[in-house]
Amino acid sequence: MDHINLVETFSEFKDFKNIDRETMMRILEDVFRHMLAKKYGSADNFDIIVNIDKGDLEIWRLREIVEDGEIEDDNLQIAYSEAIKIEPDFEVGEEVSEEIKMKDFGRREILTIRQNLISKIQEYEKDNVYHKYKDRIGEIITGEVYQVWKKEILVIDDEYIELILPKSEQIPSDYYRKGDTIRAVVSKVDMRNNTPQIILSRTSPSFLERLFEQEVPEVFDGLITIKKIVRVPGERAKIAVESYDDRIDPVGACVGMKGSRIHGIVRELKNENIDVINFTNNSSLYIQRALSPAKISNIVLDDENGKAEVYMKPDQVSLAIGKGGFNIKLAGKLTGYEIDVYRDAETDTDDDVDIAEFSDELEVWVIEQLKAIGCDTAKSVLSLDFEDLVKRTDLEEDTIKRVINVLKAEFE
């Protein structure tokens, strides 16, 4: 195994791994210098010349010529009698440059060099991948689904780097097969057991933000600022936007003509319902916009405790709560207020009974469940279908039937 074949093998490995020439030369030199230091005690007096393109590698050892019998270090000094065999004109005190051939090393040493080189290149590759993706956290990447498992999807990018999309970071309605193209945001990059692990996400608010940057030029250019995003992935999202240019309507620009801009985002998010609202420092107005499409009659704010009591007509309560309670939940996260919805007493002229009045017949936790979906009176509960109550609350069907019977009895 001569030095040329060895270097040619390394060169092929370099091409496969796409390592640049300078890096490959540095790795080769480091590996050989480490080996020389181990063999001779020190590698400071060695010159290593690497030519990746030609597959050449030369090692030269520099030693000082001393009088015969005065050698203190074989690696740093050479006897005069030995030096003149190399070049008759040498004199004591001069420096001899002598080439070290690959055949001077044993087979085991050469195999060790090969293993060390492969290890160094793999280490470089891993480090390179780690830093490359560490700098891309928050960016959208497009990859190909390589393998689908129960708890995660293995994705490869255009450089065949492996990326992971965990089940928890997938939109519930996501369905992918091997070979499908997938878009996601880089959410986290870790080193585990000296191997980079790149985690993707399609549920992160930053994924929605990057999609808006791609679809809305004004957002990309900074003319429109995204103040905050809250999501229930695959169901609903609310995004507050603001423009510092009075000539630009931030909501209109984000939605586009006839929804042209937002439709592409909605499709990518598996028909997630996206509400784009104008940001404002006026808390009451902000809450009102956040609860859209429901119309509000009055708001009472408790800024000290971060609570808001919202009053509205009975037919608006279900709109404010939204399917699965997502609308009011996201409005609370967006505005930072704990929002409680109440029916406007002025509009509720019929004889009605506060749900709390039934505490003798209904458990407190059942009453709280009903209040949580905006049903704070008996008639507000009875106005909803049985199926609606099942969907919106965490109550068992038998419990809901009992609640309905108790409330109906009040009016019979």
The amino acid occupying position 181 is T
Distance CA 2, CA 110 (A): 9
What confidence tens digit (pLDDT) does each residue in 328-342 have? 999 999 999 999 988
Print burial letters for 322-348: b (CB count within 10 Å at least 16), e (below 16).
Answer: beebbbbbbbbbbbebebbbbbbeeee
CA distances from 50 to 29, 58, 62, 239 (A): 7, 7, 17, 57
Of 29-38, 197-206, 257-266, 349-358, the range with the highest mean pLDDT is 197-206
Distance CA 197, CA 220 (A): 29
In contact, 353 and 410? CB cutoff 8 Å: yes
User: Mean per-residue pLDDT for 260-284?
Assistant: 92
218 has a pLDDT exceeding 50: yes
What confidence tens digit (pLDDT) does each residue in 368-392 have? 888 877 777 888 888 888 887 887 7
220 has a pLDDT exceeding 50: yes
Res. 221 pLDDT band, cuts 50 70 90: very high
Q: Can you list the domains of the chain with their CATH numbers?
A: 3-131 (3.30.1480), 136-203 (2.40.50.140), 350-411 (1.10.150)
Bond from prior residue into 293 cis (ω within 30 degrees of 0): yes
Q: What percent of the chain has pLDDT over 90?
A: 39
Distance CA 56, CA 297 (A): 83
pLDDT value for 1: 40
CA distances from 59 to 34, 80, 98, 103 (A): 13, 22, 8, 12
- Let me know the angle formed at the C-alpha of 384 by 380 and 385, rounded to the nearest 5 degrees: 155
Question: 3-class SS at 174?
Answer: coil
Q: Which two tokens stand for residue 53?
A: 């393109």
Residue with tokens 């937002």: 262
Residue with tokens 């409330």: 407
Res. 246 pLDDT band, cuts 50 70 90: confident
Contacts of residue 288, Cβ cutoff 8 Å, sequence gap at least 6: 296, 299
Res. 290 pLDDT band, cuts 50 70 90: very high
| φ, ψ of residue 148 in degrees (nearest 5) | -115, 120
What confidence tens digit (pLDDT) does each residue in 177-209 have? 999 999 999 999 998 888 899 999 999 999 999
What confidence tens digit (pLDDT) does each residue in 23-72 have? 777 777 788 888 888 888 888 888 887 776 665 678 888 888 888 878 88
Beta bridge partners of 237: 231, 274
- CA 318 from chain centre, in angstroms, equals 35
Of 43-52, 85-94, 254-263, 393-402, the range with the highest mean pLDDT is 254-263
pLDDT value for 350: 54
Q: Which position has the higher pLDDT, 158 or 5?
A: 158
Question: Helix, strand, coil shares of the chain as percentages rounded to 5?
Answer: 45, 25, 30
Termini Cα distance of the chain: 100
Res. 2 pLDDT band, cuts 50 70 90: very low
User: Mean per-residue pLDDT for 198-227?
Assistant: 94
Q: Which position has the higher pLDDT, 121 or 215?
A: 215
What confidence tens digit (pLDDT) does each residue in 100-151 have? 777 667 777 777 777 777 787 778 888 888 988 999 999 999 999 999 999 9
pLDDT value for 349: 45
Beta bridge partners of 148: 153
| Mean of all residue pLDDT scores within the chain | 85
pLDDT value for 262: 93
CA distances from 256 to 44, 261, 263 (A): 67, 5, 9
Q: What percent of the chain has pLDDT over 70?
A: 91
| φ, ψ of residue 298 in degrees (nearest 5) | -160, 150
Nearest one of 89, 97, 84, 6 to 52, comparing CA atoms:
6
Alpha helices (H) in 176-282, listed in sequence order: 205-215, 217-220, 250-255, 260-268
Which helix (H) or strand (E) is 112 found in, with range? helix 107-134
CB-neighbour burial class of residue 186 (10 A; exposed 0-12, middle 13-18, buried 19+)? buried
Question: 3-class SS at 51?
Answer: strand
Res. 4 pLDDT band, cuts 50 70 90: very low
